[in-house]
């Protein structure tokens, strides 16, 4: 994907690159039908990456794959994956195993049903957890050995600022994102030993289908800006990024509000 | 959520609307929307007046992918929200270009078909729809494939979105040998010289910049630019960048514009010159300055664009006299030759001379537009509806003789008139007579 930087961490990565020759880096994108994933896939295509675009909307993934090939991807193929169906994991991993160069993965899957619907039907919690945490984590835990074996590779996990503190408006979604962020932190700890790297991405409001028309949105970032900051973070081996960056400070303040006060707020 | 409420404006920013907008990101969601809530589609809103305004609409900007490209034959299938400038940037290095490019690269494939846009090569290549093999329309009953020989195609080409949202289209690209433009610029002393030179030019791309402030013997003076695609032997030259808006202290008062225009003219030596320019700079000179329409201030501006028949040079002269006297024009004025029209009832380009002038909004501009619109009808010409903000319904009906039959066919398909835009309503384009 990029020239390795001269950090001590990148030494094994460089070794791995020379061992695997000039094969393009292969990226598995989970939840590739999201607008943010589209933007990242295009940016990667532009750099000549090989793309495996995984998700449920076959028709949309085929369109994205064609577009990525047009934009210079070494290859781009759609592959079916449903976070709620563990049987769809094996083909993804089999496909990644066949890839020659470095393998990396980015997770965009997640779902945020209105909190009121969840309150009325708590069985929905399982689905939110599966889409935003357990489903993607099961895939990543199978990608991890490939990264360890090759001594290189990046995992990008899209969590959310919503996971930094539970709010009345979306606390189930927030809980799933928070769990995912914790998982990513542990995975980073694990892969770091083998030359791999994990970037946790916490977007604020992003202008996608998920937020279009929702009341109370402000400072909404274009998905292309988010994708650009993700790529930059992956290159620099950043650990946790907020995007746009100022959300780090907004969330610092929100986390600093004492619980006795926070519980009375409706933000 | 499906709908977001936003204020939208035409590019001239004179006409605005508060609209409920849906913005599907996928073909599937676009189809579902078209089936449950038929509304007109809008592209990047590069139309100047109210052609791209409606109270409810579907934005196509996220339907922005190239679905297929054959580098051997140059056929390309794209979603309707793909911008022509993006296509040009990616295709030129591979030896292809969109077959027709308007003066902004932000125009989308859907907008290019619905306005049947023309470029600097109209005299050779015709308008955009002539290069479309087929398209997919979203209808309440599901998507419909329309090939170029289908009668529905003629209703859709230049059809102002009234046959429903175009979801995707397959176009035939133009083969080019190179990735820069070689441009020859020559001074034109007056209108007759200008028109003669436009008639005689056989360059692939031809456009004229005209000094709309000139009067008397200088009336109609300007610069003829003839371009062709070339190989980049010379690195794209900075000095080739010739955007009038680069002028420092740009202001639109009459004396400033007059002085500026005179200087702009003198920039080209009397014997002419040839410069090399990047493709995007040549085709989309203003796009580098994002949101340049804001330079006209809060009130915004109008663009008047008409085409008059070849034998109506006199009418053109009279219009330029009125414009020069009024002293309201901005430096952005263009004179071009259009070749024969495609015969689609609402498609603008027909054979003749086309004049485009920007006018900052004012009461004087309204009066001048009234005069120019009437003069166009009188000359047997027509106004481009992508630019219009000031015609009367009666004038529009006179300019587009195929309109009534078109309206009948359109209304039969869409009796609820779900696809009407603000322009279609203002000019009563779908009324029986
Ligand atoms: C600087 C500048 C220079 C220009 N130069 C030229 C020029 O040289 N030649 C020329 O011909 N025009 C020119 N134009 C006008 C412009 O090309 C047209 O207005 C074009 O239609 C804009 O495309 P858009 O995608 O922004 O469409 P919009 O302005 O958003 O919409 C235009 C019309 O197309 C319809 N439409 C848009 N997308 C779809 C779709 N997917 N399905 C169905 N209907 C749809 C809309 O309903 C509307 O009626 C210029 C405009 C600017 C700002
Ligand atoms: N938009 C924001 O403001 C914002 C802010 C912070 C974080 N995020 C996070 O950013 C990511 C991208 O979101 P987005 O805004 O682009 O919205 P989106 O379009 O709704 O994206 C969500 C993606 O998750 C996929 N997904 C959901 N359930 C799935 C399942 N069971 N199996 C496989 N894929 C599944 C969806 O695929 P389908 O096409 O199959 O539905 C879709 O591609 C999400 O994780 C979201 O939580 C968004």
Q: Which residue in A68, A208, A213 has the most chain B C-beta atoms within 10 A of its own C-beta, making it the best mutation to test that interface?
A: A213
Distance CA(B323)–CA(A232), nearest Å, equals 53
Distance CA(B254)–CA(B369), nearest Å, equals 17
Distance CA(B132)–CA(B234), nearest Å, equals 34
Distance CA(B356)–CA(B305), nearest Å, equals 4
Domain presence at residue A163: yes
Domain presence at residue A232: yes
Chain A: residue nearest B68 by CA?
A: A66
**Within 13 Å, how many C-alpha atoms sit on residue B168's CB side?**
19
Domain presence at residue A4: no
Q: Give, for B70, the enclosing helix (H) or strand (E).
A: strand B66-70
Residue A142 maps to which CATH number? Answer: 3.40.50.720
Radius of gyration of chain B (CA): 21
User: Hey, how many other C-beta atoms are within 10 angstroms of the C-beta on B223?
Assistant: 20
Q: What mean pLDDT is predicted for residues B354-363?
A: 94
DSSP A159-213: --GGGSS--TTTHHHHHHHHHHHHHHHHHHHHHHTTT-EEEEEEE--B-STTTTT
B4 in contact with A at a CB cutoff of 8 Å? yes
The b-or-e profile of A238-257 (16+ CB within 10 A means b, else e) is: eebbbbbeebbeebeebeee
Q: How confident is the model at residue B232 (pLDDT cuts 50, 70, 90)?
A: low
Instruction: Report pLDDT digits (tens) over A55-68.
Output: 999 999 999 999 99
Q: Where are the alpha helices (DSSP H) in chain A?
A: 10-19, 35-46, 58-70, 89-98, 115-120, 124-129, 135-150, 171-192, 223-235, 247-256, 259-262
User: Hey, how many other C-beta atoms are within 10 angstroms of the C-beta on A172?
Assistant: 22
Interface A–B counts its CB contacts (< 8 A) at 45
Distance CA(A60)–CA(B405), nearest Å, equals 38
Q: Whose CA is nearest to atom 21 of ligand 1?
A: B111
Ligand 1: centre distance to CA B14 (Å): 17
Inter-chain residue contact A59 with B1, CB threshold 8 Å: no
Q: Is the CB of B105 under 6 A from ligand 1?
A: no
Q: How many residues does chain A have?
A: 267
Cα angle vertex B349, ends B330, B63, to 5°? 85
* The dihedral formed by the CA atoms of B120, B126, B131 and B134, expressed in degrees to the nearest 10: 130
Phi and psi based region of residue B380 (left: phi greater than 0; alpha: psi -120 to 50; beta: remaining) = left
State the residue for tokens 């610069």: B223
Is the four-CA dihedral A98, A104, A108, A110 of positive or negative sign? Answer: positive
Q: Whose CA is nearest to atom 46 of ligand 2?
A: A110
Nearest to B65 among A66, A209, A214 (CB): A66
Chain A: residue nearest B5 by CA?
A: A213
Residue B167 has pLDDT above 80, yes or no: yes
Residue A189 has pLDDT above 60, yes or no: yes
What are the Cα distances from residue A246, in Å, to A227, A235, B127?
Answer: 16, 20, 47
Domain presence at residue A5: no
B389 in contact with A at a CB cutoff of 8 Å? no
Selected residue with higher pLDDT from B157 and A1:
B157
Chain A: residue nearest B59 by CA?
A: A212
Instruction: Report pLDDT digits (tens) over B190-221.
Output: 999 999 999 999 999 999 999 999 989 999 99
- Return mean pLDDT, chain A: 92
Instruction: Report pLDDT digits (tens) over B335-358.
Output: 999 999 999 999 999 999 999 999
Q: Give, for B7, the enclosing helix (H) or strand (E).
A: strand B4-9
Q: Is the CB of A101 under 6 A from ligand 2?
A: no
What the block records as the tokens of B117 is 């846009």
Domain presence at residue A128: yes
Ligand 1: centre distance to CA A223 (Å): 24
Q: What mean pLDDT is predicted for residues A7-14?
A: 37
Q: What mean pLDDT is predicted for residues A8-22?
A: 43
CATH among 2.40.128, 3.10.360, 3.40.462, 2.60.120 for B180-396: 3.40.462
Query: Residues of B numbered 22-41 whose beta carbons fall under 8 angstroms of chain A's beta carbons: which are they?
Result: 23, 25-29
Residue B246 has pLDDT above 60, yes or no: no
DSSP A13-26: HHHHHHHTTTPPPE
Selected residue with higher pLDDT from A145 and B331:
A145
Q: What mean pLDDT is predicted for residues B179-189?
A: 92
Chain A: residue nearest B6 by CA?
A: A213
Domain presence at residue A78: yes
Residue B47 has pLDDT above 90, yes or no: yes
pLDDT, residue A14, reads 37
Inter-chain residue contact B65 with A71, CB threshold 8 Å: no
For chain B, domain boundaries = 66-176, 180-396
pLDDT, residue B248, reads 36
Q: What mean pLDDT is predicted for residues A222-236?
A: 97
Residue B433 has pLDDT above 50, yes or no: yes
pLDDT, residue B116, reads 98
Q: How confident is the model at residue B287 (pLDDT cuts 50, 70, 90)?
A: confident
Q: What mean pLDDT is predicted for residues B265-284?
A: 89
Q: How confident is the model at residue A45 (pLDDT cuts 50, 70, 90)?
A: very high
Number of domains comprising chain A: 1
Rounded to the nearest angstrom, the gap between the alpha carbon of residue A187 and the centroid of all alpha carbons in its chain is 13
DSSP B113-145: HHTT---TTHHHH--GGGGEEEEEE--TT--EE
ipTM of the complex: 0.91
Chain B: residue nearest A71 by CA?
A: B90
Q: What percent of chain B has pLDDT over 70?
A: 95
Q: How confident is the model at residue B150 (pLDDT cuts 50, 70, 90)?
A: very high
pLDDT, residue B257, reads 80
pLDDT, residue B234, reads 53
Q: Is the CB of A57 under 6 A from ligand 2?
A: yes
Ligand closest to B121 (CA) is 1
In DSSP terms, A203 is beta-bridged to A243
- Return mean pLDDT, chain B: 92
Distance CA(B385)–CA(A232), nearest Å, equals 45
Contact A148, A196 (CB under 8 A): yes
CB-count burial class (<10 Å; 0-12, 13-18, 19+) for A267: exposed
What the block records as the tokens of A127 is 């689905």
Q: What mean pLDDT is predicted for residues B285-301?
A: 81
**Within 13 Å, how many C-alpha atoms sit on residue B248's CB side?**
0
pLDDT, residue A176, reads 98
Distance CA(B287)–CA(B243), nearest Å, equals 10
Q: Which residues of A touch B69 (CB under 8 A)?
A: 70
Strands of the sheet containing B16-22, edge to edge, are B4-9, B16-22, B56-59, B41-42
Q: How confident is the model at residue B418 (pLDDT cuts 50, 70, 90)?
A: very high
Inter-chain residue contact B67 with A60, CB threshold 8 Å: no
Q: Is the CB of B341 under 6 A from ligand 1?
A: no
Q: What mean pLDDT is predicted for residues B147-156?
A: 98
What the block records as the tokens of B123 is 């005299």
Q: Is the CB of B52 under 6 A from ligand 1?
A: yes
pLDDT, residue A216, reads 84
Q: Which residues of A touch B75 (CB under 8 A)?
A: none
Q: Which residue in B6, B26, B91 has the most chain A C-beta atoms within 10 A of its own C-beta, making it the best mutation to test that interface?
A: B26
Q: Whose CA is nearest to atom 11 of ligand 1?
A: B117
> What fold is seen in the domain B66-176?
3.30.465
User: Hey, how many other C-beta atoms are within 10 angstroms of the C-beta on B337?
Assistant: 22
CB-count burial class (<10 Å; 0-12, 13-18, 19+) for B72: exposed
Cα angle vertex B308, ends B302, B311, to 5°? 155
Q: Is the CB of B118 under 6 A from ligand 1?
A: yes
For residue A69, give its domain range.
11-262
Nearest to A212 among B4, B66, B90 (CB): B4
Give A43 to chain B, closest Cα distance, Å.
Answer: 14
Domain presence at residue A141: yes
Q: Whose CA is nearest to atom 23 of ligand 2?
A: A109
Distance CA(A52)–CA(A92), nearest Å, equals 8
Q: What percent of chain A has pLDDT over 70?
A: 92
pLDDT, residue B395, reads 98
Ligand 1: centre distance to CA A63 (Å): 24
Q: Which of A234-238, B40-44, B77-81, B264-268 has the lowest average pLDDT?
A: B264-268
State the residue for tokens 């991993």: A93
Phi and psi based region of residue B300 (left: phi greater than 0; alpha: psi -120 to 50; beta: remaining) = left
Residue B236 has pLDDT above 90, yes or no: no
pLDDT, residue B240, reads 41
Instruction: Report pLDDT digits (tens) over B88-118.
Output: 999 999 999 999 999 999 999 999 999 999 9
Query: Which atom of ligand 2 sits closest to the CA of residue B26?
Result: 39
What are the Cα distances from residue A171, in Å, to A77, A165, A168, A178, B423?
Answer: 35, 8, 6, 10, 46
Q: How confident is the model at residue B233 (pLDDT cuts 50, 70, 90)?
A: low
Q: Is the CB of A229 under 6 A from ligand 2?
A: no
């Amino acid at each position: 994907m990029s020239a390795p930087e001269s950090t001590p961490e990148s030494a094994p990565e460089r070794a791995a690159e020379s061992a695997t020759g000039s094969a393009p880096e292969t990226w598995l994108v989970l939840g590739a039908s999201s607008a943010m994933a589209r933007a990242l896939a295009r940016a990667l295509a532009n750099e000549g990456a090989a793309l495996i675009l995984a998700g449920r909307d076959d028709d949309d993934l085929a369109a994205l794959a064609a577009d990525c090939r047009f934009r210079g991807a070494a290859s781009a193929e759609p592959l079916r994956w449903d976070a709620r169906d563990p049987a769809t994991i094996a083909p993804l991993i089999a496909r990644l195993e066949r890839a020659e160069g470095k393998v990396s993965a980015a997770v965009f899957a997640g779902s945020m049903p209105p909190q009121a619907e969840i309150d009325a039907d708590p069985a929905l919690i399982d689905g939110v957890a599966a889409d935003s945490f357990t489903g993607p984590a099961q895939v990543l835990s199978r990608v991890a050995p490939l990264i360890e074996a090759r001594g290189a590779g990046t995992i990008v996990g899209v969590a959310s600022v919503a996971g930094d503190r539970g709010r009345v408006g979306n606390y189930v979604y927030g809980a799933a994102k928070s769990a995912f962020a914790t998982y990513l932190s542990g995975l980073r700890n694990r892969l770091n030993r083998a030359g791999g790297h994990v970037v946790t991405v916490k977007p604020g409001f992003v202008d996608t289908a998920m937020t279009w028309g929702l009341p109370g949105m402000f400072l909404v970032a274009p998905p292309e800006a988010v994708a650009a900051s993700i790529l930059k973070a992956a290159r620099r081996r950043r650990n946790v990024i907020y995007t746009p960056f100022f959300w780090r400070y907004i969330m610092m303040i929100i986390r600093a509000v004492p619980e006795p006060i926070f519980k009375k707020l409706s933000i | 959520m499906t709908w977001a409420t936003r204020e939208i404006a035409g590019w001239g920013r004179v006409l605005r609307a508060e609209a409920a907008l849906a913005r599907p990101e996928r073909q599937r969601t676009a189809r579902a929307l078209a089936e449950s809530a038929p509304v007109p589609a809008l592209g990047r809103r590069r139309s100047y007046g109210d052609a791209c305004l409606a109270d409810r609409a579907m934005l196509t900007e996220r339907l922005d992918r190239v679905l297929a490209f054959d580098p051997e034959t140059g056929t390309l299938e794209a979603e309707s929200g793909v911008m022509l400038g993006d296509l040009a940037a990616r295709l030129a290095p591979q030896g292809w270009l969109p077959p027709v490019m308007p003066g902004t690269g932000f125009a989308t494939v859907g907008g290019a078909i619905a306005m049947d846009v023309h470029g600097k090569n109209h005299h050779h290549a015709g308008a955009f729809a002539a290069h479309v093999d087929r398209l997919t329309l979203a209808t309440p009953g599901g998507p419909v494939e329309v090939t170029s020989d289908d009668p529905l195609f003629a209703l859709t080409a230049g059809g102002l979105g009234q046959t429903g949202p175009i979801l995707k289209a397959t176009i035939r690209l133009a083969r080019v040998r190179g990735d820069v433009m070689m441009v020859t610029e020559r001074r034109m002393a007056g209108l007759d010289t200008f028109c003669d030179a436009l008639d005689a030019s056989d360059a692939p791309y031809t456009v004229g910049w005209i000094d709309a402030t000139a009067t008397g013997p200088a009336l109609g003076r300007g610069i003829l630019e003839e371009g062709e695609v070339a190989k980049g032997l010379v690195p794209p030259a900075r000095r080739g960048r010739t955007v009038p808006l680069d002028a420092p202290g740009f202001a639109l008062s009459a004396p400033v514009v007059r002085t500026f225009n005179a200087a702009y003219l003198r920039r080209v030596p009397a014997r002419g010159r040839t410069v090399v320019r990047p493709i995007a700079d040549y085709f989309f000179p203003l796009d580098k300055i994002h949101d340049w329409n804001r330079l006209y201030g809060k009130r915004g501006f109008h663009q008047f664009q008409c085409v008059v028949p070849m034998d109506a040079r006199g009418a053109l002269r009279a219009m330029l006299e009125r414009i020069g006297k009024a002293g309201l024009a901005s430096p952005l004025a263009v004179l071009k030759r259009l070749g024969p029209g495609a015969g689609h009832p609402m498609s603008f380009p027909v054979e003749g001379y086309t004049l485009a002038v920007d006018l900052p909004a004012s009461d004087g501009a309204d009066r001048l537009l009234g005069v120019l619109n009437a003069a166009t009808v009188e000359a047997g010409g027509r106004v481009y509806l992508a630019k219009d903000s000031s015609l009367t319904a009666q004038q529009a009906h006179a300019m587009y003789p195929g309109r009534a039959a078109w309206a009948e066919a359109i209304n039969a398909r869409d009796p609820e008139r779900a696809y009407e835009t603000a322009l279609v309503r203002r000019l009563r384009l779908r009324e029986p007579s």
